[in-house]
């Protein structure tokens, strides 16, 4: 195991600090969202200096954020009151004009996805009155949704991701155990799902590994891969890892981050509160998909006995950033 050490950290203030829910890299810095409703932007080289900019969001309960335009430093946020906003986080942008309301889904938003090529923002809601919705906007067209699907899932929509090269294709995951792939150019709900995979357990995270292969991770740490190009009976998995907690020596999986730039693979963030350890495990594709257990990166101490909620990797800087339920953002680098 290759170990990194804490190089810098920031502690959000308060007698009971807010949870850091996620970290999102942008060209202008490292954005974080926290349970106190704050959107913060850090200089990755000076995490300990605290946020260089911070905004109070107006979502009631801030639940999720995604980069809309990483290079252009535009971030989307959403939350409990159903509202969605875009934030201009360029260093030159100042003041209240930094936020633009996209629209409202009229229910607690649990998931969010953005696609720059189609100027689309999509959200997934929790189940309310027997209905869980996926709502999409074209941000150029104002606050009226482009389309709304109310019957794609029968329970909370916990994950959304657009296809890496086709911004009309949207993947969704739900606590109903399904991962659905939809063509958002189709308004008819009976026709919109072009492929469905039954993971058989509540979906925590799901997304595209490449143009055709999909991963699904359940809330009880069951991981499986599926392929859009293979017509398998009942949408069965092409690779089923089962419960990965024993294999990865962890108690939870925080997330799966597919590699960018067309590279095959992903980084899995796996943590153990008892061992106070967080590990980055590469999922690689040779003849078959497998965990690269000989090249695990360890973050000893992690966030103590608290869960790591978000992480990201800056390969060029040889740095890893984590945010946890202890209210800290930590920077990790190789020991000197």
In whole angstroms, give the CA distance from residue 99 to residue 94: 10
Task: List, for residues 285-330, the tens digit of each pLDDT value.
Answer: 988 999 999 999 999 999 999 999 999 999 888 999 999 999 999 9
Task: List, for residues 211-220, the tens digit of each pLDDT value.
Answer: 999 999 999 9
Task: List, for residues 163-206, the tens digit of each pLDDT value.
Answer: 999 999 999 999 999 999 999 999 999 999 999 999 999 999 99
Specify which residues 103 forms β-bridges with.
84
Residues 6+ apart with CB under 8 A from 197: 178, 179, 180, 214, 216, 226, 235, 237
Task: List, for residues 131-149, the tens digit of each pLDDT value.
Answer: 999 999 999 998 999 999 9
pLDDT value at residue 235:
74
pLDDT at 8 over 60: yes
- The structure tokens listed for 303 are 């966030």
pLDDT at 233 over 90: no
- The structure tokens listed for 253 are 């999986």
For residue 141, which phi and psi values (nearest 5 degrees)? -105, 5
| Dihedral (Cα; 65, 38, 149, 208), 10-degree rounding | 10
- Across the chain, mean pLDDT equals 94
Residue that has been written with the tokens 């939870």 in this structure: 252
pLDDT value at residue 123:
98
Ordered domains of the chain (ranges, CATH) = 1-16+246-335 (no CATH), 57-243 (2.130.10.10)
pLDDT at 226 over 50: yes
pLDDT at 96 over 50: no
Helix H, strand E, coil C: the string for the chain is: CEEEEEEEEEECCCCCCCCEEEEEEECCEEEEEECCCEEEEECHHHHHHCCCEEEECCCCCEEEEEEEECCCCEEEEEECCCEEEEEECCCCCCCHHHEEEEEECCCCEEEEEEECCCCEEEEEECCECCEEEEEEEEHHHCCCCCEEEEEEECCCEEEEEECCCCCCEEEEEECCCEEEEEECCCCCCCCCEEEEEECCCCEEEEEECCCCEEEEEECCCEEEEEECCCCCHHHCCCEEEEECCCCCCCCEEEEEEECCCCCCCEEEEEEECCCCEEEEEEEEECCCEEECHHHCEEEECCCCCCCEEEEEEECCCCEEEEEECCCEEEEEEECC
Task: List, for residues 235-294, the tens digit of each pLDDT value.
Answer: 789 999 999 999 999 999 999 999 987 677 999 999 999 999 999 999 999 889 999 999
pLDDT value at residue 232:
67
Is the separation of the CB atoms in 279 and 253 below 8 Å? no
pLDDT at 95 over 60: no
Is the separation of the CB atoms in 20 and 324 below 8 Å? yes
């Amino acid at each position: 195991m290759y170990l990194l050490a804490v190089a810098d950290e920031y502690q959000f203030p308060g007698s009971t600090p807010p949870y850091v829910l996620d970290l999102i890299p942008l060209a202008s810095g490292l954005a974080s969202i926290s349970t106190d409703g704050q959107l913060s932007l850090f200089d990755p080289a000076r995490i300990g200096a605290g946020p260089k900019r911070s905004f109070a969001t107006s979502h009631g309960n801030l639940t999720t954020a995604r980069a809309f335009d990483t290079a252009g430093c535009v971030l989307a946020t959403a939350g409990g009151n159903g509202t969605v906003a875009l934030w201009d986080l360029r260093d030159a942008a100042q003041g209240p004009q930094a936020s633009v309301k996209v629209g409202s889904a009229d229910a607690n938003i649990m998931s969010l996805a953005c696609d720059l090529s189609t100027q689309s923002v999509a959200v997934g809601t929790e189940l309310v009155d027997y209905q869980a919705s996926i709502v999409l906007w074209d941000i150029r067209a104002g606050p009226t949704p482009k389309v709304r699907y109310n019957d794609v899932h029968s329970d909370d929509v916990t994950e959304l991701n657009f296809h890496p090269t086709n911004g009309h294709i949207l993947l969704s995951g739900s606590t109903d155990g399904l991962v659905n792939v939809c063509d958002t150019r189709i308004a008819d709900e009976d026709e919109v799902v072009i492929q469905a995979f039954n993971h058989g357990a509540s979906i925590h995270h799901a997304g595209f590994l490449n143009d055709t292969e999909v991963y699904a991770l359940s809330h009880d740490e069951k991981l499986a891969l599926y392929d859009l190009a293979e017509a398998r009976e009942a949408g069965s998995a092409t690779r089923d890892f089962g419960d990965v907690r024993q294999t990865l020596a962890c108690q939870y999986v925080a997330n799966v981050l597919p590699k960018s730039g067309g590279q095959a693979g992903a980084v899995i963030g796996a943590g153990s509160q008892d061992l106070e350890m967080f590990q980055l495990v590469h999922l690689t594709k040779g003849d078959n998909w497998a965990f690269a257990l000989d090249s695990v990166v360890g973050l000893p101490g992690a966030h103590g006995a608290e869960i790591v909620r978000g992480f990201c990797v800056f390969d060029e800087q040889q740095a890893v950033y984590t945010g946890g339920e202890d209210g800290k953002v930590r920077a990790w680098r190789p020991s000197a």
